[in-house]
Chain A
Amino acid sequence: MMRHLYPLPVIALALLLAGCDAGGGRGAPVAGGSPTPGPDGHCSDGRAGFKNVYFGDLHTHTSFSLDAYFFNAMTDPAAAHRYARGLDALPLPAIGSEDVFTKGREIRIDRPLDFNAVTDHAEFLGGFKLVCDNTGQTQQACDQAIGQGIRDDIVAIARGEVPFQTALAQSIINQSPTDMIAWAQTKAMNDDNYAPCEFTTLHGYEFSSNELSQMFHRNVIFNGPTEAMPLDVLSSFKLTTATHPENGNDDWDLFDHLQQNCLNVPGCQALTIPHNANLSDGRMYLAAGEAAGMTVLGELDGVPLGRKLEFSDVYFPMTADDARLRRELDRSFEMTQHKGQSECAIGLDGEYLANDEGFDPACGFEINKSVCLGRADDPPGCAELCTGAPEDPNFCHHRTAGGNLVERCASTGPDGASGTGEAADGTGNCSHPLDYYRNAMAEGLKIKQTLGVNPYKVNITASLDTHNADSGNAVEAGFKGHTGVLDDEPFEQLGFWACDNAGGDEDPSDPANCSNRQFLDFSRTLNPGGLAGVWAPQNTRDDIWQAIHRGESFGTSGPRIRVRTLASWDPLPNRICSELASGRDLIASGEFPNAARMGGDLPPRPDGAGAPWFAAVAIQDPEGYPLQSLDIIRGYLDGEGAPKVEVINGAAQTAQAVTLPSRQDCSVQTGAHPATLCAVWQDQDFVAGRGDSFWYARVREIPSCRWSTYNCHVENDVDCGLLDPANGLFPEESGLQGFEGCCITRGEPGSFSGENHFHSIEERAWASPVWYSAP
C-alpha cells in the first residue's frame, strides 16, 4: 500500500533566506550575552514576523517528590532551574554510596536550556522533604523507615504493586496538608528563577495515577499570574485507594479539578501532558467500542468508555462534553522520556499500519516494553530487527519476563482490566498498539466520527522525567542514571542476575542455590530522555506556554534538532523550505491563506482544491550529528472507516551510505551527510469525505552510540569473553563485576559464554502534526 510520492520528494538542501538577516536582534544591550527585555517589554531577540526556536524540559523531579527524595535529597526546584540555566552545579550522592544526604559528586549541564518546568509528584508533594529534613538524625530515621523500602520495592512500585500496608499508609499520609506549603514554595522558586527573555520557568506538577499496574500519568503546566494558580495540587491517592484501588475516573478527576480551580478562575490557564502511554497497558487511550467486561449504561458504538460510578464496574460511554474537556486540557504528548519512547514499537503496529511490509523499521528506538519474545508467532518486524547480532537494537536483548518482555494485551480496559487471556486477568503485564502515539491519534479520528470531537487529539513535545533534578541532561555519553543512588552503579544501570531469594540465603553467583534465576534488566531499558522544542516569538512564560498549547512544538530524543512543518491546500513553492527554516511566520504573513502551521488545523477545504500538500524542514543540532532521514507519518480513516497510519520513511534522505559508529571510540563519520533535510509532498491518497487526517514529520540522525555502549566500550573496556562459564558473571579478578549487562549471554550453568553488544541509536525529533478536521 506504500504509494508513489508525487511529485518525488523535493530534497532542498540549499536553504535560501529571502533577504533577511536572522538572529541578530535589534542591537539592544544584552546582559550576560542573553536576550533582555526592552522598555516596551519585548525581548531583544524578538523579530516582527518571525519565530525563534527555544529548547527546554517539561518533566523534572526534585526532592519534593515522594520517591526522588530518597534517591537524592539534596535538591529542590530552585536547584533544578539553576542547573538548567547553567548557573550552578548539581549535587549528587557518590557513585556506590547509598547516602542520599551527602554530596559525593556534582554535575553541570552541557548547554543551558531556554525554559524549564519542575513537575514533582502531586502525591504527598514535598512531604518527606519537610518531615524528614529537620536534623541529621531525623533524615537517617526517615531513610531507614521509608527510603530503603521505596528503593528496594521500586520495581514493584513502578508497576503499582504496592503492599497493602504501604498503600494504606500512603492514602492516609496523603491527606496531610503539607502539599500546599511545598506547592507554594515551588511557585516562589519558579518565580525567583524566571528571567524573562533569557530563561523561562513554568509552574507545574505531575498527577501520577499508578493503580493496578497501569501507568496513567499527566504533567500539568500552568500559565497566568502566579496569584491565579490553584492553591493546592490534585493527588491521585484517595483515602480509599488502598482498600479499593481503581483508576476509572482518575483522568476526569484531574480535568474536573483543573476546570474548577483554574480554567474557571480569571487569568489561570492550564494544559496537561500525558506521558508514559508506553507503560499504561492500554489504559491511557481506550479503544472505541471496547467494554472490557464492564457494565455499560448506554451505547458504546464508536465511543470509548467514559466516566464510571465510583466503587463499581458500571461505566458510561464517553460524552461529547467530556471529549471536549479532555481535548481542551491534553495539549501535548511526551513522545519520549527516561522510561522510553511512545511513538511506535516493533510488533505493536497492529492493525493500524497500512504499509505493506507490516512494520516500520524506525520503531526499534528505546522501546521499554517489548512484545518480541523470540517465538515463531512474533508479530512482523521482530525477526527482521532482532537477528541475534550484537548490533541489534537494545530492545532485542530485553530479558526480564513480565517487566520488559510482555505479551500484547488481548483486551484493554480501565481499573486494571487489561489482560492477555480470554478474560481480563488484571496482571497488567501486556502492551497494546494504543499505548503508542500514532495509533492512538488514528483511533481518535474514528471517535470523532461519532462524538463530533476528537478527545485524543494532542500535539508533541518530549522531556526527561529525571528524578535527579538535572533538567535537560539528555546526553548519552557519560549517562549515570536519572534516579540518584538507585541507578548510578554499573549493575543497576546495565542489569544483573537475581534469585527469588524467598529464604534469604540464595546466591545469584551460585546457579544451584538460586531459585528462578533470571537476569533483571533494571535500568538497562531506560535512557537519558528527550527535550521539548518550541517556535515562539520570544522567550517569556506566556510565549513558551502558548507555543506548547497551540502545538507549535516538537520533541527530540536529546539533541537540539530543529524541525518545522506546514500543510496547505495550495501547491507549495520550493522556497517553502528556506522560509520555514528561517523562522518566518508564514501564516500570519497571509502569504499562504489556505495553510496551517504545525499543531494547527487546515482551514476549510476551498472549492476545487485537490489533495493537501505538506512541507517539513529539519536542521541538525550544531553540536550533534548529521541527519539521515526525514519521514512523513500520515493518519487517516480508510474506506471502511478504520483508523490507519501510513509511514513514508526517507521522504528526504541522505545520498550517502549510512554506517555505524566506531567500535573503538564511538566516533561518527559525518561524511557528506546533510545538515538540513526538507521534503515537500502531496498526500495523493487523501480522500475528501472520509473524515479527519493528520500529518507529522519525524527526522532521524545518522547512528551514534547508545549510552550503554559508551559505558561498556568507551568509559570501560568490557570483554564479555571473560564471563565465568559456571554462572555467567564476571570473575572478581576481571575487575568487571557488575558489567554483565554489556553482554549477550548464551548457554546455561557450566557453559555460559558472552559476546559484547554494540547498540547504536538514531537520535530523532518529532514535529507536532498538522490536522485536518472534516466539517
Chain B
Amino acid sequence: MTRALKRLLREPLTGFLLLGALLFALDARTGEAPSGGAIEVPPARVAAARERLQQQLGREPTGAELGAQLDGWLEQELLYRAALDLGLAEGDPIIRRRLAQKMGLLLEQRAADREPTDTELRELLAEQPERYAEPTRYRFEHAYYPREEHGAAAARVAADALARLRNSPDAPPPTGTPFFAGQRFDDLGTPQLRKIFGQDFAAELAALPAGDWQGPVASGYGAHLVRIIERVPGRPATLEDVRSELVSEWREQVRRQARRDALAELRERYPLRLPDSP
C-alpha cells in the first residue's frame, strides 16, 4: 500500500465515507432502505415469522397466517417510507440525536479498529516513563517497636536494640513485637510497601543501605529496625514489560483523538454561520 493511500485511510473523513458506503451496501442487501420503489420483504424476516408461527401453531402456517404475521412490519415500513419521502425525518430532534450518536460511536469504534505499531507504543511509553517504570523491590526483614507499648520512646527503644546488636556481634537479631503483616517480606514493590507501611516508611527504606540492620525507621504504627536483604533497583519499563497496558492506553487516546478530529473535520465541512446580530 502506498504511503498516500495509508494516510488517506487514516483520515477520519475517508473512514466516514467508507462507512457510509458500507451502510449503503448493507442496506442494499437487506432491501429495507431505498425509498420510492417496490417493497421487498427481506427473506430473513419471512423465515423468522414462519419459524415463530411454527412454534406457536405446531404446524406449517398458511399463507394467510404468514401474511397477517408480517402485516405489522409492512405497515410500519409503509409509514416509514412515506415519512422519508415527505422529509419528516428532517428536523426531528429524536432522529437527529439518534443519528448523531450512532455516527459518533461509529467514528470512535473505527478509530480503535487497528493494532498499534511498536513505534506508537514506544512513543506512548516515552511520554510517561514514570507511570510504567518498574519500582524498586525489596527482600527485607524488620523488627517492630509499637507505639502503644513504648509511646514516644519507641524510636529510642529501637535504637538501643540496634546499639546492643552492633556492640556484640554474636547477639541474636532483634525481634521486636510481632507485626500483623509479618516480619519478613520476600518481594515487595514500592506501591505494595506503601499500602502496608505507609508512604514515609517506603521513602525511608529507599535511602537505607542493604546488608545490615538499620534504623530506627518510623511508620504510622511505631518504630522499626530494618535489614534489607536484597534490593532490586527500579528501572524504566521496556515495551515488552507493559505492552498490554500500553495497548489499552493507546486505544483510549486514539478514541478520544478520533472524536476530536472527526468533529474538527466535520466543522470544516459544514461551516457554521451564525445569524446576523440585529
Contacts A31-B132, A31-B242, A192-B252: A621 and B148 contacting too (C-beta < 8 A)? no
Contacts A23-B196, A34-B191, A622-B198: A17 and B180 contacting too (C-beta < 8 A)? yes
Chain B neighbourhood of A34, CB < 8 A: 189, 191-192
A267 within 8 A of B: no
Contacts A31-B134, A621-B220: A15 and B248 contacting too (C-beta < 8 A)? no
* Contact indicator B94/A582 (Cβ below 8 Å): no
A504 within 8 A of B: no
Give Cα A192 to B221, complex, Å: 37
Q: Mark A7-28, 1 if CB is under 8 A from B, else 0.
A: 0000001111100111111110
* Contact indicator B178/A15 (Cβ below 8 Å): yes
Stretch at the interface among A93-101, A239-247, A671-679: A671-679
Contacts A24-B187, A622-B221: A181 and B132 contacting too (C-beta < 8 A)? no
A415 within 8 A of B: no
Q: Mark B228-244, 1 if CB is under 8 A from A, else 0.
A: 00000010010001100
Chain B neighbourhood of A33, CB < 8 A: 134-135, 137, 189-192, 234
Q: Mark A21-43, 1 if CB is under 8 A from B, else 0.
A: 11111110111111100000000
Chain A neighbourhood of B187, CB < 8 A: 24-27, 30
* Contact indicator A620/B245 (Cβ below 8 Å): no
* Contact indicator A31/B192 (Cβ below 8 Å): no
A5 within 8 A of B: no
Chain A neighbourhood of B241, CB < 8 A: 29, 31
* Contact indicator A177/B186 (Cβ below 8 Å): no
Chain A neighbourhood of B101, CB < 8 A: 130, 178, 181
* Contact indicator B198/A623 (Cβ below 8 Å): yes
Stretch at the interface among B4-12, B41-49, B149-157, B208-216: B149-157
B86 → chain A closest CB, angstroms: 23
Kindly identify, within residues 115 to 169 of chain B, every residue whose CB is under 8 Å from any CB belonging to chain A.
131-135, 137, 146-152
Kindly identify, within residues 97 to 120 of chain B, every residue whose CB is under 8 Å from any CB belonging to chain A.
97-98, 100-101, 105
Give Cα A177 to B251, complex, Å: 27
Listed residue (B105, B135, B221) with the most chain A CB atoms within 10 angstroms of its CB: B221
Give Cα A654 to B146, complex, Å: 13
* Contact indicator A23/B134 (Cβ below 8 Å): no
Listed residue (A14, A624, A673) with the most chain B CB atoms within 10 angstroms of its CB: A14
A619 within 8 A of B: yes
* Contact indicator B147/A673 (Cβ below 8 Å): yes
Listed residue (B148, B184, B200) with the most chain A CB atoms within 10 angstroms of its CB: B148
Chain B neighbourhood of A35, CB < 8 A: 192
Chain B neighbourhood of A13, CB < 8 A: 146, 148-149
Within the complex, which residue of A21, A25, A29, A619 is in contact with B180, where a contact is CB–CB below 8 Å? Answer: A619
A335 within 8 A of B: no
B28 → chain A closest CB, angstroms: 26
Query: In which size bucket is the chain B interface?
Result: 35 or more
B66 → chain A closest CB, angstroms: 29
A11 → chain B closest CB, angstroms: 10
B69 within 8 A of A: no
Contacts A13-B148, A23-B181: A32 and B131 contacting too (C-beta < 8 A)? yes
B199 within 8 A of A: yes
Contacts A32-B134, A582-B180, A675-B148: A622 and B237 contacting too (C-beta < 8 A)? no
* Contact indicator A670/B186 (Cβ below 8 Å): no
Give Cα A380 to B138, complex, Å: 55
Chain A neighbourhood of B98, CB < 8 A: 177
Contacts A33-B189, A675-B147: A17 and B134 contacting too (C-beta < 8 A)? no
* Contact indicator A181/B178 (Cβ below 8 Å): no
* Contact indicator A622/B180 (Cβ below 8 Å): no
Chain B neighbourhood of A21, CB < 8 A: 182-186
Give Cα A268 to B173, complex, Å: 54
Give Cα A134 to B270, complex, Å: 14
Residue of B nearest to A656 (CB): B151
B36 → chain A closest CB, angstroms: 28
Residue of A nearest to B186 (CB): A24
Chain A neighbourhood of B100, CB < 8 A: 134
Chain B neighbourhood of A46, CB < 8 A: none
Within the complex, which residue of A195, A582, A620, A623 is in contact with B181, where a contact is CB–CB below 8 Å? Answer: A582
B179 within 8 A of A: yes
Chain A neighbourhood of B222, CB < 8 A: 675
* Contact indicator A672/B186 (Cβ below 8 Å): no
A253 → chain B closest CB, angstroms: 25
Chain B neighbourhood of A673, CB < 8 A: 147-148
Residue of A nearest to B200 (CB): A623
Give Cα A52 to B196, complex, Å: 11
A206 within 8 A of B: no
Contacts A30-B189, A134-B100: A22 and B182 contacting too (C-beta < 8 A)? yes
A606 → chain B closest CB, angstroms: 31
Chain B neighbourhood of A260, CB < 8 A: none
Contacts A17-B183, A582-B182, A622-B219: A195 and B245 contacting too (C-beta < 8 A)? yes
A87 within 8 A of B: yes
Residue of A nearest to B140 (CB): A24
Residue of B nearest to A669 (CB): B152
B33 within 8 A of A: no
A45 within 8 A of B: yes
Residue of B nearest to A45 (CB): B192
Give Cα A181 to B152, complex, Å: 58
B16 within 8 A of A: no
Give Cα A26 to B146, complex, Å: 28
B80 within 8 A of A: no
* Contact indicator B97/A131 (Cβ below 8 Å): yes
Within the complex, which residue of B185, B191, B200, B221 is in contact with A675, where a contact is CB–CB below 8 Å? Answer: B221
Q: Mark B248-261, 1 if CB is under 8 A from A, else 0.
A: 10011000000000
A-B contact pairs, 11 of them (CB 8 A): A13-B146, A30-B134, A32-B132, A32-B135, A33-B190, A130-B101, A622-B198, A623-B220, A670-B147, A671-B147, A675-B220
| 7 extra A-B contacts, CB within 8 A, seeds A130-B97, A671-B147 | A20-B182, A21-B186, A24-B187, A195-B245, A619-B180, A622-B198, A671-B152
> 5 smallest A-B Cβ distances: which pairs?
A672-B151, A622-B198, A33-B189, A33-B135, A674-B148
- List residues of chain A with CB under 8 Å of any chain B CB: 13-17, 20-27, 29-35, 45, 78, 87, 111-112, 130-131, 134-135, 176-178, 181, 185, 192-193, 195, 578, 581-582, 619-624, 626, 654-655, 670-676
